[in-house]
Structure formats: structure tokens, C-alpha cells
């Protein structure tokens, strides 16, 4: 169960965030509304929320998940592979220090972004992407092993981050799209397949028994409901325009 979340308000400069989505520029005011609703839903689900101020120097800083990995016993400040995002880690340190005593940092030449790290109980899956390299993943594995947490690397080619394409919904249920449907590393999971015309919905978020699903993806929504979950749909259009999924807007622990 999660007790806390950290989020950062979107900044006006988010319209210049990194994207390969080809969906046009986000509407900042709409993004603020969507973000506020996301935060309210996390609060309704029982989380204590730390809301950080917007930082206009970093267009992508709303995607706070990428700059830290929070485990029950320690936190790891990452080293984002995207040059324009690399210094975002400095913005997260204070709040992480308020919550954790044991804090580590991924060092160059290792790169790692939190969107590539999926937690499955005491097991971690780390995507090797354009943003996360083997050195960064190995550094994280070495840290996790000190706490008896195990981790595996997962190759990926089709999506930005591992969690763009897979979401663990607890109870051994794994929401998967595209290349992840066939990967043998996920064979022991009960896979819930996201249809190819709804791949954005592969990024859902389990919060204390409820699954947050992006609005507008009826087939995926039904599959998650049929798996027995209470769901809440959230408008995510302005973050989708920046390749941001449901999990990337918060750090949960």
C-alpha cells in the first residue's frame, strides 16, 4: 500500500517538453486542470501528497517519476539520460531527504530514468532504453541487492520507458502492450493485453486497489475492470502529447 506521493505542478514552459508523439503542443491550462484532478484522486485514495512548485527552467519537470526511485527502505536519485532533464535531479533532493535516510545516486556514465523501473513486490524490472543504459541499471541493481531486493534488466525498442508499455497492477496482473506481450521474462505474470490501437493505455497506475486508467480507451478499461479492479478514468491528453503516462506524474511510496 502506498502512503505518500510527490508531484510537481506543470510549468508554462511544458509546451516545449520533449516529445515524439506528434499530437501537437499541450494546452497549459488544460494540463493544470488535468494535473489537479490527478492529485485530488491520489488524495482521495488515501495518499499524503507533497506538491512541489512548478519550475519553468525544466519543461519536463512535471514528470517527477523519472528523477528518483523510491523503495520501502531507500531512495535512489537517478541520472536522466535526456540532457535537458539531467539537472532535474537537483530539484527533488530536498523532498527525498525529508522522507528517507538512505539515499543513493546513479553516477555517470550510468544513466537511468525512473520510468524504466517497475516494482513487483521485492523484485524490480529495469528497462534498457534510450534513457537508461546498462551501467545505470547495474548501479541500481547493486543498490537494491543491499536491501535483499532483486532486479532484472529488460530490453525494449518500441516505447520511451519500460512503464510506457507495461504496468504492474499487483496480484500478479501485468498490463502489457506491443513488444512486451511476447517477452519471456514476463511469462509468469497473468498478462492483460492492451490492443494495438490503445497502446497509450498500457500506462495505468495501481493505487491501493484502484487502477487509474487514461480516459478514452474503452477496450483497455473493460479489460482492467474484468480483471476485478475498481477503476478511475483520468483525462491525460495534455501529458500524452509529451509522451507522459499515468505513472510518470508522481513518485509513490
Active site residues: 161, 248
228: phi > 0 → left, psi -120 to 50 → alpha, else beta; which? left
Q: Which three cell numbers stand for residue 247?
A: 505513472
Q: Which three cell numbers stand for residue 128?
A: 534498457
Q: Which residues of the shown chain bind ligand CIR in the complex (CB under 6 A)? A: 17-19, 60, 63, 65-66, 82, 85, 115, 161, 163-164, 242-245, 248
Tell me how far, at minimum, the Cβ of 162 lies from ligand CIR, in Å: 9
Tell me how far, at minimum, the Cβ of 62 lies from ligand CIR, in Å: 9
Count Cα atoms within 13 angstroms, Cβ side, for 39. 18
Other Cβ atoms within 10 Å of 138 Cβ, number: 16
| Strand ranges across the sheet with 150-155 | 117-120, 123-128, 150-155
Sign of the Cα pseudo-torsion (132, 137, 139, 140, in order) = positive
Q: Return the number of the residue (163 or 252) whose C-beta is nearest ligand CIR.
A: 163
Whole-number Å distance between alpha carbons of 248 and 33: 17
Q: Return the number of the residue (83 or 148) whose C-beta is nearest ligand CIR.
A: 83
Whole-number Å distance between alpha carbons of 205 and 175: 10
Q: Which three cell numbers stand for residue 41?
A: 484522486
Tell me how far, at minimum, the Cβ of 226 lies from ligand CIR, in Å: 26
Q: Return the number of the residue (66 or 192) whose C-beta is nearest ligand CIR.
A: 66
Which H helix or E strand runs over 176?
strand 173-176
Locus of grid cell 487514461 = 214
Tell me how far, at minimum, the Cβ of 48 lies from ligand CIR, in Å: 22
Whole-number Å distance between alpha carbons of 213 and 200: 10
Q: Which residue of this chain has its Cβ atom nearest to ligand CIR in the complex?
A: 115
Tell me how far, at minimum, the Cβ of 247 lies from ligand CIR, in Å: 6
Q: Return the number of the residue (145 or 155) whose C-beta is nearest ligand CIR.
A: 155
Contact 4, 22 (CB under 8 A): no
Q: Return the number of the residue (60 or 238) whose C-beta is nearest ligand CIR.
A: 60
Amino acid at each position: 500500500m502506498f502512503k505518500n506521493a510527490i508531484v510537481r505542478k506543470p510549468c508554462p514552459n511544458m509546451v516545449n517538453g520533449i516529445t515524439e508523439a506528434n499530437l501537437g503542443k499541450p494546452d497549459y491550462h488544460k494540463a493544470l486542470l488535468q494535473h489537479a484532478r490527478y492529485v485530488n484522486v491520489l488524495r482521495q485514495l488515501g495518499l499524503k501528497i507533497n506538491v512541489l512548485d512548478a519550475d519553468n527552467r525544466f519543461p519536463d519537470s512535471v514528470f517527477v517519476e523519472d528523477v528518483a526511485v523510491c523503495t520501502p527502505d531507500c531512495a535512489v536519485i537517478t541520472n536522466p539520460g535526456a540532457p535537458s532533464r539531467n539537472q532535474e535531479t537537483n530539484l527533488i533532493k530536498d523532498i527525498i531527504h525529508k522522507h528517507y535516510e538512505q539515499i543513493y545516486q546513479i553516477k555517470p556514465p550510468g544513466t537511468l530514468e525512473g520510468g524504466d523501473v517497475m516494482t513487483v513486490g521485492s523484485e524490480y524490472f529495469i528497462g534498457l532504453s534510450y534513457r537508461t543504459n546498462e551501467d545505470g541499471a547495474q548501479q541500481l541493481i547493486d543498490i537494491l541487492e543491499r536491501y535483499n531486493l532483486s532486479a532484472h534488466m529488460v530490453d525494449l525498442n518500441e516505447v520511451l520507458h519500460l512503464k510506457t508499455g507495461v504496468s504492474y497492477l499487483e496480484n500478479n496482473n501485468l498490463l502489457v502492450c506491443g513488444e512486451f506481450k511476447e517477452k519471456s521474462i514476463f511469462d509468469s505474470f497473468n498478462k492483460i493485453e492492451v490492443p494495438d490501437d490503445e497502446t497509450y493505455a498500457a500506462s495505468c497506475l495501481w493505487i491501493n486497489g484502484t487502477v487509474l486508467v487514461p480516459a478514452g480507451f474503452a477496450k483497455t478499461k473493460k479489460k482492467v475492470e474484468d480483471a476485478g479492479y475498481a477503476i478511475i478514468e483520468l483525462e491525460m491528453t495534455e501529458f500524452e502529447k509529451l509522451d507522459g503516462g499515468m505513472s510518470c506524474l508522481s513518485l509513490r511510496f
